[in-house]
Amino acid sequence: MKASGTSQVGRNGKPSWWRRFWIGSAIVAVAISIVQYILYWKGLIGVRSLLSTPLIILGGIGLGYIVEHVKHEVISEETLLTVSKIVYTVGLGTCVFGFLTWIFVALSVQFFTETLHLFTRPRWWDQYGMLLAMPPSYAFGTYLGYRLGKRLGFKSRWLNVPQAE
């Protein structure tokens, strides 16, 4: 188990993750700036949005730095593994897979009723059917996220989590 505050320090006295963080932040900041300038010159965003870009970039860099610092120097490996399990189950499973399953159910019902005319859709489906389809879709998505995380040992490129037992 990693003790709190035991990040490896490089030759220049900086933590080992420090250089990689700043290189990635610079690349993302330049990419966001270029996209914003293109959108401005195409007339898709206004001056206010263009001028708020540096503030958004600085806020994102600050938040990212806090996350990296906490991840590498504050919390233990056990806590990091717990966070990884939550991210796989709730973040990837419920939010991503659950939402995609719910959309798939909605499009499937639409396709089978209006395109193929296999059955007639009840009138209540438009109002209440999607709400009834939501809990099983999100439960299935949560199950998929957990199974994927378990299969990968709850490891992630971004979290550097030790192998789950």
pLDDT, one tens digit per residue, over 19-31 is 889 999 999 999 9
> What does the DSSP assignment read for 67-128?
HHHIIIIIS-HHHHHHHHHHIIIIIIIIIIIIHHHHHHHHHHHHIIIIIS-SSPPPTTIIII
Is 43 strand, coil or helix?
A: coil
Listed ranges 13-17, 96-100, 131-135; the one with the highest mean pLDDT: 96-100
Q: What is the pLDDT of residue 1?
A: 46
The region of weakest confidence among 29-38, 63-72, 152-161 is 152-161
Torsion sign over Cα 98, 104, 108, 109 = positive
pLDDT, one tens digit per residue, over 54-102 is 999 999 999 999 988 888 888 888 888 888 888 899 988 999 999 999 9
Q: Which is more confident, 120 or 4?
A: 120
Summary mean pLDDT of the chain:
84
What tokens does 45 get? 């965003």
DSSP H helices, 3-72, are 18-41, 47-69
